[in-house]
Amino acid sequence: MLKRSFFAVAALVLSLNVTAQGKELPDFTDLVDKQGAAVVNISTTQIIHADRGGQQYPFDENDPSFEFFRRFFPHQPGMPGVPGMPHDFENKSLGSGFIISSDGYVLTNAHVIDSADEVVVKLTDKREFKAKVIGADKRSDVALIKIEAGGLPTVKIGDSTKLKVGEWVVAIGSPFGFENSVTAGIVSAKGRSLPEENYVPFIQTDAAVNPGNSGGPLFNLKGEVIGINSQIYSRSGGFMGLSFAIPIDLAMDVQGQLRHGGKVHRGRLGVVIRDVTKDLADSFGLAKTEGAFVDSVEPGQPADKAGIMAGDVITRFDGKPISQSSDLPRAVGAARPGAQAQVQVWRKGATKDFTVTVAEMPDDKVLAQRGGKRGRGAEPAGNRLGLVLSELGADQRRELKVNGGLVVDDVRANGARFDLRAGDILLALIAKGNQTELRNVDQFNNLLAAMDKSAVFTLLIRRGESQSFVTIKGLGDKEN
């Protein structure tokens, strides 16, 4: 009898425990029913012009793959000697987005619509619309597009600052083209820093996100969007439990600027920083390894004018604590140019406060990209280095305190072998002991044209906040 009573009590306890656990598991059906209709599929088409001197090749002649395909696949489209080959090639890709206003404004990732000649938005009711790109901000990876439609379903915008690690989240999007796929997980971490992503404190989740989910919404259990699914960490190319979303508060600020001005304004301090290590903290008498160590201060910039010096450790900016170096670009970037901000630093064992007037971060070349079809066939050709260049504007020259300078807009196939990248600024060319300041594209291309293909020379470049030298050994026979 006692044994039977024991098993009865154990069964009751187990039943109650299962019931309690069952109550803790969320039901996402209502959220999906109410919010799913505002999630859209985005497909893009990029027209690739393969013109090479009147013949159409999908490969650059200097590409190592070219000779292989020419020999072993001579009759494939785009290879030399084959008549009637297509002049253009279409590159299609898929992504996701969500409607934020009933008159057709849609948020997505900048990388989803980057370089697209056509953007098509497909709703859950199967209607399709060509979209206009209002603007795209590559630094935050946020883009705003517009479709001509009315009375559309919209998402509810939440507050990502109230998000807690461990709470449930739901991702809706089009992984691999499977529209309105729903996945769930929890918030794994907040404020994540990713390589070369200085302006976004990412939300990390374990909700399954795959290619095609990019640009789709991340919901909390209230059915509010608290993030835009943007990236995954993967060794296989697929989901491995690490997904990253852009906080919706940041995204809404970016889209507001794109909608009303077509570009995003960010603050600039004019310092080169790095993390505070244990050795640095001990040397400077800091109790914790926190803050942003100032490696150098750019002359004439806000930090220099305010009195901030190399060797200072910035611990607060505009009232916000700077726990690690990646916190500072976010805080400064969020400040409006022209605004005054209080900066607290640790210097020689004591705390000091400075007031800075924030400058404006120089534009990226394609910081805000207006909608409308672009004539890609009219793009300038690369020079003998495989570089597409443009000249610095007067404001940029004043900002950088240089007399000339050429911006690298694109690096074509032949240029991939040199240590040059888009965004670099070429300041001077040094050859045979002579240094020539670079002032315009024609001047630089003429210098290259006069050189032998085996020429060796050095370029003085500016990359970010620092200058360096890149030595070029050997040029191609012709422009590419």
| Domain limits, CATH 2.40.10.10, in the chain | 36-146, 156-261
| Domain limits, CATH 2.30.42.10, in the chain | 267-360, 380-473
C-alpha 166 chain-centroid distance: 26
Q: Which run of H or of E encompasses 66? A: helix 64-72
Enumerate the active-site residues: 111, 141, 214
| Residue 444: CB atoms within 10 Å | 22
What pLDDT score does 122 carry? 96
What pLDDT score does 87 carry? 54
What's the CA dihedral at 232, 272, 396, 407 to 10 degrees?
-50
What pLDDT score does 273 carry? 86
What pLDDT score does 19 carry? 44
Secondary structure of 295-350 in the HEC alphabet? EEECCCCHHHHHCCCCCCEEEEECCEECCCCCHHHHHHHHCCCCCEEEEEEEECCE
Distances (CA, A) of 197 to 193, 221, 298, 326, 463: 7, 28, 22, 9, 16
267-360 under CATH 2.30.42.10, yes or no: yes
What pLDDT score does 413 carry? 54
Q: Which run of H or of E encompasses 287? A: none
Q: Report the predicted TM-score, pTM, of the whole model to 2 decimal places.
A: 0.64
From the options 2.30.42.10, 2.40.37.20, 2.70.210.12, 1.10.10.10, give the CATH code of 380-473.
2.30.42.10
d(C-alpha 89, C-alpha 57), whole Å = 10
Residue 352, Ramachandran bin (φ over 0: left; ψ between -120 and 50: alpha; else beta): beta
What spatial distance separates the first Cα and last Cα of the chain, rounded to whole Å?
91
Low-confidence ranges of the chain (pLDDT < 70): 1-23, 49-89, 196, 363-382, 412-417, 432-433, 465, 475-480
What pLDDT score does 55 carry? 45
Give strand pairing partners of 142.
Answer: 137
The amino acid present at 58, given as its one-letter code, is P
What pLDDT score does 353 carry? 95
Q: Which two tokens stand for residue 377?
A: 């066939």
Give me the count of residues in the chain: 480
Residue ranges of alpha helices (H) inside 217-287 are 248-261, 278-284
The string over 176-186, giving b where at least 16 C-beta atoms fall within 10 Å of a residue's C-beta and e elsewhere, is: eeebbbbbbbe
User: Are the beta carbons of 58 and 50 closer than 8 angstroms?
Assistant: yes
User: Are the beta carbons of 171 and 39 closer than 8 angstroms?
Assistant: no
The SS3 call for residue 57 is coil
The amino acid present at 480, given as its one-letter code, is N
The SS3 call for residue 11 is helix
What pLDDT score does 373 carry? 36
CATH architecture entry for 156-261: Beta Barrel (2.40)
Q: What is the CATH number of domain 36-146?
A: 2.40.10.10
Q: Tell me the per-residue pLDDT of 63-99, one tens digit each, with 9 for 90 and over.
A: 555 455 545 554 454 444 444 445 566 778 899 999 9
User: Are the beta carbons of 450 and 383 closer than 8 angstroms?
Assistant: no
Beta strands 156-157 and 224-232, pairing class: parallel
Nearest to 48 by CA among 309, 377, 327, 352: 377
Q: Tell me the per-residue pLDDT of 31-40, one tens digit each, with 9 for 90 and over.
A: 999 999 999 9
Q: Which residues contact 384 (CB under 8 A, 6 or more apart)?
A: 445, 448, 449, 451, 475, 476, 478, 479, 480
Using alpha carbons only, what angle is made at residue 215 by residues 268 and 126, rounded to the nearest 5 degrees?
Answer: 145
Secondary structure of 95-133 in the HEC alphabet? EEEEECCCCCEEEECHHHHCCCCEEEEECCCCCEEECEE
Beta strands 39-49 and 88-99, pairing class: antiparallel
What pLDDT score does 400 carry? 76
d(C-alpha 77, C-alpha 57), whole Å = 8
